[in-house]
Amino acid sequence: MQTELSKRLGVEHAIFGFTPFPAVAAAISRAGGFGVLGAVRYTDPGELKRDLDWLAAHVDGRPYGLDVVMPAKKVEGVTEAEVEAMIPEGHRRFVTDTLAKYGVPELDDGEVSGWRITGWMEQVARTQLDVAFEYPISLLANALGSPPPDVVARAHDRGVLVAALAGSARHARKHAEGGIDIVVAQGYEGGGHTGEIASMVLTPEVVDAVGPLPVLAAGGIGSGQQVAAAFSLGAQGVWLGSLWLTTTEADLHSTAVTRKLLAAGSGDTVRSRALTGKPARQLRTEWTDAWDDPDGPGTLPMPLQGLLVAEALSRIQKYEVEPLLGTPVGQIVGRMNSERSVQAVFDDLTRGFEQAVDRVNRIAGRSGQS
């Protein structure tokens, strides 16, 4: 599963694995793919440094990257406290009432919410980059599109390739104009933030829009056959995220979440703004239903929504309140039926890819004889 891009980065397989877990990222790189650590949960630079130290020591010299979340336009002088002050009191009451309805206990006195997505704040992401650029990362990816121009220049000065996610050909062209090296075509089926266009349609549109820039296909991919399909559509690799959530190396800190993922079908996800304020695919729960109910207050824009629900989600996760308990995940969750190691996932991807290529070769051979 090699392409020009994978050879450029020095990896055996053009499988880019996004994950919030350092152990998963390291295992992906060791298996011959390209591990990408998600940085959004690291509000403490020391914690990010600790995990990057660990990652660097466990990739066996293989390349790896970092994924951040930051807006394309630089915003100066806005603090987290100032942003939190913008949250309407009615929305705070809605959160309180919903948690009370399901009997969700409070956090212990002095306990700080473990689920803070202040990584959506630009100054937090810039602090993450200050740490990351001290390490030999090979790729910087941004989930909100093109990073600010100074960040792109800073990465290029260090020989780091920059990738940006796009949900349409129009977005992809803007990334190309901004000096991005790799475009990740994120289809509607994918977990987390997605656009409106399905992968089968989106991938070739983006390939045509930004060629010869390399494109990674993302969204709804979880088998070697789908990897082969992505290559046939012009992608130079695939970007997989959801598939790693049920690997043995993943640390979800919740057996209930793992149980729900293993039991879920492809139709058990929903694109909702309940998590961050932007449409993000996740398990459908009574929490997402409450926020999507037209009789409710509606969600707030990013980053207000994430700040609003941070403590609530920490409480839901800590006490494993199953009706409300969810996680970002794509429609590929319907194939995630057992816990496997990262290496086992790669073995399945490789076998499926070979089977798909052999099948197409047989078809092409017969066509050539007619």
Alpha carbons 337 and 18: distance in angstroms, whole number: 20
Question: Mind listing the pLDDT tens digit for each residue in 20-40?
Answer: 999 999 999 999 999 999 998
- Mean pLDDT of the 134-148 span: 91
The pTM for the full model equals: 0.91
Question: Mind listing the pLDDT tens digit for each residue in 87-132?
Answer: 999 999 999 999 999 999 999 887 766 555 544 567 788 889 999 9
Alpha carbons 65 and 51: distance in angstroms, whole number: 13
Alpha carbons 318 and 254: distance in angstroms, whole number: 8
Structure tokens at 165: 């996610």
- Crossing angle (nearest 10°) for helices 89-101 and 304-318: 20
The string of DSSP codes covering 179-229 is T-SEEEEE-TTSSEE--SS-HHHHHHHHHHHHTTS-EEEESS--SHHHHHH
Which residue, among 78, 83, 73, 23, has the nearest Cα to 306 in the 3D structure?
Answer: 83
Distances (CA, A) of 280 to 164, 195, 273, 330: 17, 9, 6, 9
pLDDT at res. 12: 96
> Is the separation of the CB atoms in 65 and 137 below 8 Å?
yes
Alpha carbons 144 and 71: distance in angstroms, whole number: 6
Alpha helices in 214-330 (DSSP H): 224-232, 255-263, 286-292, 304-318
pLDDT band at 42 (very low <50, low <70, confident <90, very high): confident
